[in-house]
Structure 1
Amino acid sequence: MQLVDVLANDRIAINVSVSSKKTLLEKAAELLANASGSANAREIFDSLCQRERLGSTGLGHGVAIPHGRVDNQEAVAGAMIRLKRPIDFDAPDHEKVDLFFALAVPGQCTDSHLKLLAEMADRLGRQVQRDALRQIDDADELLRLLSENPAETAAQ
């Protein structure tokens, strides 16, 4: 399973305006609830908040990957949100965050989604990837970028 396998263009939101972590997580839950076989937005929101209480999912460099296990979730679903203006997300580098990749994972899921989180962290740890994600304003183009090998993007 790769990042592009769990995303769809109807779960990509670009130039979103939110003012807090709570409203960002609400927006992520709404997008994730659009996936086939997804739990309702309230269950997803509660799961994302529960995970954030354990520690921030902010990675640094303006990126966060909020995620949570949801009992009524049938399959892993992903969403991407890019904000107009970054918000505080308790990232380890204290930078405000504008790129969010959210995941809703089935409650009974094994740790297979950890590979997906690792891929996301690796991809988003690359400056060239973050720059490209911040410049593209079309959901289909973002999906195309995310389907490429990050090393290929760096070579362009």
Structure 2
Amino acid sequence: MDLSSILKPEAVKVISEASSKKRLFQRLGEIAEAAYSIDGLQAAEALLERESLGPTGVGHGIALPHARLLDASKVTGVFFKLERALDFKAVDRQPVDLVFALFAPENSGVEHLKALALISRTMRDPKVCAKLRANDNPTTLHTVLTEGLAPQAA
């Protein structure tokens, strides 16, 4: 599994205004609906429900909201770079400017966890995050995310 199988170019956006987590999740749902034909309202509500269990802000300005959806046919992602960082109640109390949302079928099981682990590894890479923060072109952002991590030396 690689990020190019999860993330379509049209699901990568630079967002200038996100006034709250709820509004951000609505925008994520709208883009998921446009890119993957997922019910956007259901996607936003599922993200909010998951967030109520605990914040998905993982630190270093990164959030990884995720949800399982009845109408999702495969694991998909939406990436937002926020022009203005948003309080996400992250573990390090830093505001979030990079958001990678993951949507998975209700019964995806291990596939969902593998995708979440891949996204987490990618977003923990300081070089990847530096490139993401240095660019505002969605096509470039998609390329940075999908070119994958450099192979690890054995």
User: So what's the TM-score if we normalise by structure 2?
Assistant: 0.91
Deviation, 1:35, is 2.9
Structure 1, gaps ≥5 residues long: none
What is aligned with 2:34?
A: 34
2:23 is aligned with 1:23: yes
Q: Distance in 2 between the 1:85 and 1:60 partners?
A: 16
After superposition, the C-alpha distances for 1:1-22 in whole angstroms (9 at most, x for unaligned) are 2222111121111143111111
What is aligned with 2:49?
A: 50
After superposition, the C-alpha distances for 1:62-105 in whole angstroms (9 at most, x for unaligned) are 00011100011111121111111101001000000010001111
The answer to whether the 8 Å contact 2:75/2:111 transfers is no
Q: Distance in 2 between the 1:136 and 1:17 partners?
A: 17
Secondary structure at the aligned position of 1:34 is classed as helix
What is aligned with 2:4?
A: 4
Q: Distance in 1 between the 2:66 and 2:43 partners?
A: 9
Q: Distance in 2 between the 1:41 and 1:149 partners?
A: 28
Q: Distance in 2 between the 1:108 and 1:150 partners?
A: 28
Residue correspondences, number: 151
The answer to whether the 8 Å contact 1:29/1:45 transfers is yes
CA 1:149/1:12 → structure 2, altered by over 3 Å: closer, same or farther?
A: closer
Secondary structure at the aligned position of 2:108 is classed as coil
After superposition, the C-alpha distances for 1:85-129 in whole angstroms (9 at most, x for unaligned) are 101001000000010001111112122121111111111112211
Deviation, 1:146, is 1.7
Aligned-pair Cα RMSD in Å: 1.4
Q: Distance in 1 between the 2:38 and 2:150 partners?
A: 35
Over the matched positions of the two proteins, sequence identity in percent amounts to 34
What is aligned with 1:13?
A: 13
The answer to whether the 8 Å contact 2:132/2:141 transfers is yes
1:7-156 aligned within 5 A: 7-36=7-36, 38-151=37-150
- What amino acid is aligned across from residue 134 of structure 2 in structure 1? Q
User: So what's the TM-score if we normalise by structure 1?
Assistant: 0.90
